[in-house]
Amino acid sequence: MNAVSQPVRVAILISGGGSNMAALIDRATVPGAAFEVVLVLSNDPEAGGLAVAKAKGVTAVAVDHRPFGKDRAAHEAALQTELEAKDVQVVALAGYMRVLTPWLVGRWEGRMLNIHPSLLPKYPGLDTHARALAAGDAEAGCTIHLVTEGVDEGPILAQRAVPIVPGDTAATLAQRVLQAEHALYPQALSDFCQSLV
């Protein structure tokens, strides 16, 4: 990004507490940041991250999936309407707990990132920390990847490893990985946005 470039307009999709979201918003406030967070969207009106985003001065909107029932396409169309209203250029999934349909994924091909709490391609899906412990792995970690139709399968942009130590539980390991996530995602999103301009 050169000195006259505008920061890339990013939306963050969440379903929960939004600690990664908060780390991304904080990075966007650094002078000269490659991106700005123009919108936080949640499928859950109770998501704690909504209040965190608002407290940080970011527009935060819930598009509850439940009234849409099984009509995923209609829910995603409502999300897309919000994204377009804010002229979003890049979407960052951060603990967004719904699998997206090929329609929304296709709409954002090459411009949608996700964070996953494992060293992909190991342990796509859920319960990543318990699976790493059960396998006797020496290390765990997190991955930033582009979103494609296959869950947790897209091209990898960045990874960070953390050690697994004696006595670790899924909870203690999750906490250690989460700290790594908070460093990795802002840097990876920043690098990605810089590569766009």
Residues that bind ligand GRF (CB under 6 A): 14, 16-21, 94-95, 115-117, 142, 178, 181
Q: How far is the CB of 93 from ligand GRF (least distance, A)?
A: 7
Backbone angles phi, psi at 38, to 5 degrees: -100, -10
**H-type helices in 29-169, by residue range?**
48-55, 72-85, 102-107, 128-134
Q: How far is the CB of 17 from ligand GRF (least distance, A)?
A: 4
What does R_g of the chain's alpha carbons equal in angstroms?
A: 17
Give CA–CA dist 125/4, Å, rounded: 40
Query: Which one of the listed residues 65, 75, 116, 182 is annotated catalytic?
Result: 116
| Residue found under tokens 């904080």 | 26
Q: Which residue is nearest to ligand GRF (CB)?
A: 95
* Residue 88, Ramachandran bin (φ over 0: left; ψ between -120 and 50: alpha; else beta): beta
Q: Is 182 a catalytic residue?
A: no
Q: How far is the CB of 18 from ligand GRF (least distance, A)?
A: 5
Choice between 178 and 197, CB closer to ligand GRF: 178
Choice between 1 and 174, CB closer to ligand GRF: 174
**H-type helices in the chain, by residue range?**
19-28, 48-55, 72-85, 102-107, 128-134, 170-196
Q: How far is the CB of 96 from ligand GRF (least distance, A)?
A: 7
Contacts of 112 (CB under 8 A, 6+ apart): 90, 91, 92, 93, 105, 146, 147
Choice between 90 and 94, CB closer to ligand GRF: 94
Choice between 130 and 197, CB closer to ligand GRF: 130
| Active-site residue list | 116
